[in-house]
Amino acid sequence: MRLAECARLSADEAREQMLIRAAVHVNAARVQRLLYRFYVNKAIKDATANIPHSDHTYTFVVDYGQNMELPVYHDQQPGVSYYYSLLGIYNCGIVNHAHVCENGDVREHMHAYVYHEGVGKKGANNVVSIIIKTLRDLNIMREDSIGGELNIIFDNCSDQNKNNTVLKMLFFL
Distance (Å, whole) CA 125 – CA 119? 12
The number of domains in the chain is 1
- Structural domain range at position 57: 3-172
| pLDDT of res. 159 | 60
Distance (Å, whole) CA 155 – CA 162? 9
Helix (H) or strand (E) holding 109: strand 106-116
| pLDDT of res. 82 | 54
Dump the DSSP string for 32-101: HHHHHHHHHHHHHHHHHTT--TTT-EEEEEEEE---EEEE---TT--S-GGGPPEEEEEEEEEEEEEEE-
Distance (Å, whole) CA 33 – CA 118? 36
Distance (Å, whole) CA 12 – CA 18? 10
Give this prediction's pTM: 0.76
| Grouped pLDDT means (10 residues each) for the chain, 173 residues | 62 82 88 92 95 93 86 61 73 93 92 90 86 93 88 73 75 80
